[in-house]
Chain A
Amino acid sequence: MIRLAGLKTLALILGLVPGTVMASDILTISGNEASESYSFEDLAALPQEKVLTDNFYVDEVTEFSGPLLRDLLDPFGVTRDDTLKMTAVNDFSVEIPVDDILDYDVILALRRNGETMSIRGKGPIWVIYPMDDHPELVAPQYNDRLIWQLTGIKIE
């Protein structure tokens, strides 16, 4: 926590908190001949889902909140046959089957324990699976899908 607080102070000093860059778009969704970009406000304006879970990259059960991925993708008409190519800020990418977001409450977490996340803190968007609610999700292949610093989703 002290570490996190320190990070936040630094981020504030450096003006790197999402608040100062809110005006810009942070996520682009494309596919099915459509493309849409979202700012932090756009995403925060959607209904927010809370997920309480532990995972491979945190030390204890943590509260994450953000829009449900399936709500966000609903206008794009995704089907179970589709695959989502999730890309991070440093061009790292993973593929997620649409089944995941339809079967589970997968969220694009915007907040961790109520606080927004900087790039330094794996933000501003971190894909979170409700692993504690579904023991079957506690598996290596799902760990890989917890992509942070998410910038793009491509429906394929």
Chain B
Amino acid sequence: MTKGRRKIRQGMAGAVLLSVAVAVAGLMMLSQSISEMRLSDRDKPLWIANQMQFEMLRFDAAAQDYALGRETYEGLTQRLNILWSRLSTFEEGYVADVLESRGIDLSVIRDIRNWLETLDETVFAQDVPPATAESRREMAAILRDQMSSFKTDLQKLSLSVVKSETQEQTQFKDALLTLSNRVTLLGVVAMAALGLFGLFLWIDGARSRKLAEKMEVLANHAGASLRAKDSFVTVVSHELRTPLTSIYGSIELIKAAKNSDLSPTNEKLISIAHRNCERLITLVNDILDIDKLDANLVILDNKCFNLSQTVQDAVRDNENYATGLQVGLSLRVIDTELYVEGDEVRIAQVLSNLISNASKFSPAGSTVEVIAYQNGPRARVEVRDEGQGIPEEEHERIFERFHQGSQVTSTTYKGTGLGLSIAKAIVEQHNGRIDLKSTPGKGTTFFFELPIKDESKDTSHRPASCDVRDVA
């Protein structure tokens, strides 16, 4: 989502930049074209062509005046020379290039040059004025006659220059129009893109503002719920457990009174109340435990102890519970000395959890086997039942809080759903791991491993802090 939006934003920014760049390039081209037009306006090839015509007329006039004796020979040759100089403007420089690029037919200019060269070799070859008035008139007549043959072609030249100029201007105007249209279009596109971009930014900003507000609300909620939880835990511990304990004590007292005059019905009711009271106390203790474990508030009373011994004690402690469920407990201690470091009470809690769980989910008449042995550098305890097994997909979630196995059908055995989660937290606090293996229909094995304090098994190397107890 965010990636997509960033791409869109980049695309839009690109589009804006691109259209602005193209618009700038277009405007630069425009200004170039306009300056070119100004140039061709001022030094029109047409002006040069007209000057040529004009110069021919002046030479013609000079020849006429010379025939009539109103112009000197020097004056005539002066006009001839100026005419010569006019030719060069067609042959070099900017105008020559322009005329060539427009494909103007300049044959008349070449013809005039040829004619002037011929004059240099004939009429003006001696560079001496004719001696008589007669020969002067003759010379002028020849000049004027030959000159007249260029008149039409020169006019045509001017005309074609005019035509090409008009064409050029039309083309230029068209190009200008197209260009200005394009620039306008680009401008519109750029504005639209800019507008969209702005809108997008605004929406984005609004969204992130909203998000920030939401986050703040969430943070407030989180803080509130944390405080609520704290007070809940306080309530549970002080307001619930205290009266519960006194209720439990009272029931115990009633039950203990051998010579009570309770009717069998009332006795049964007291039993139910006793059992449920026990369950409630377990639940409250579990909740308090998990809360402490969560907050890392459990301070482990770390000591070195023999896990094999602890396992043995745990089996013995849970025997009554299992028997009540018509489940047998069998103990197999393969390695009698499994020294680990940790809080023995907590580990016993884990064992008790696993054994009672296994008993609960075992069919009547089956046996729960508890095995303790050394597995490499670790001490391993397995609790095997012959229950219906746990499906693979539940393995991961089984250690989650308040998780109840889907196979649990009997509400009688329903636990708090916290036992395994507490066990896992405790084992992990001891740098150990807890897991399970299960074959549906055949049974489940829960196991946990703790690092062995003394791998050598040699008692002489046993840590001094270890409280050595014989395995009975």
**Which A residues contact B (CB, under 8 angstroms)?**
3, 7, 10, 13-16, 55-59, 89-90, 118-122, 140-141, 143-144, 148-149
Contacts and interface: CB of A to CB of B under 8 A. Distances in A.
Interface stretch (B87-95, B352-360, B385-393, B398-406): B87-95
Interface in B39-90: 39, 41-43, 55, 58, 77-78, 81-82, 84-85, 88-89
Nearest to A10: B120
The dominant DSSP class at the B interface is helix
Contacts of B39: 140
A89 B78 contact: yes
Interface of B: 38-39, 41-43, 55, 58, 77-78, 81-82, 84-85, 88-89, 91-96, 117, 120, 124-125, 127
A120 B42 CA distance: 24
Contacts of B94: 56-57
Contacts of B127: 14-15
B164 to A, nearest CB: 19
The dominant DSSP class at the A interface is loop
B137 to A, nearest CB: 22
Contacts of B77: 14, 16
A148 B88 CA distance: 12
Contacts of A144: 42-43
A146 B117 CA distance: 27
A143 B124 contact: no
Nearest to B113: A3
A144 to B, nearest CB: 7
B397 to A, nearest CB: 82
Nearest to B43: A143
B82 A90 contact: yes
B58 A90 contact: yes
Given A13-B120, A14-B120, A3 B85 contact: no
19 contacts: A10-B120, A13-B120, A14-B127, A16-B77, A57-B89, A58-B92, A59-B92, A89-B82, A119-B78, A119-B84, A119-B85, A120-B81, A120-B84, A122-B85, A122-B88, A140-B43, A141-B42, A143-B42, A149-B85
A58 B91 CA distance: 9
A94 to B, nearest CB: 12
B88 A90 contact: no
Which residue, A3, A14, A55, A143, has most C-beta atoms of chain B within 10 A? Answer: A14
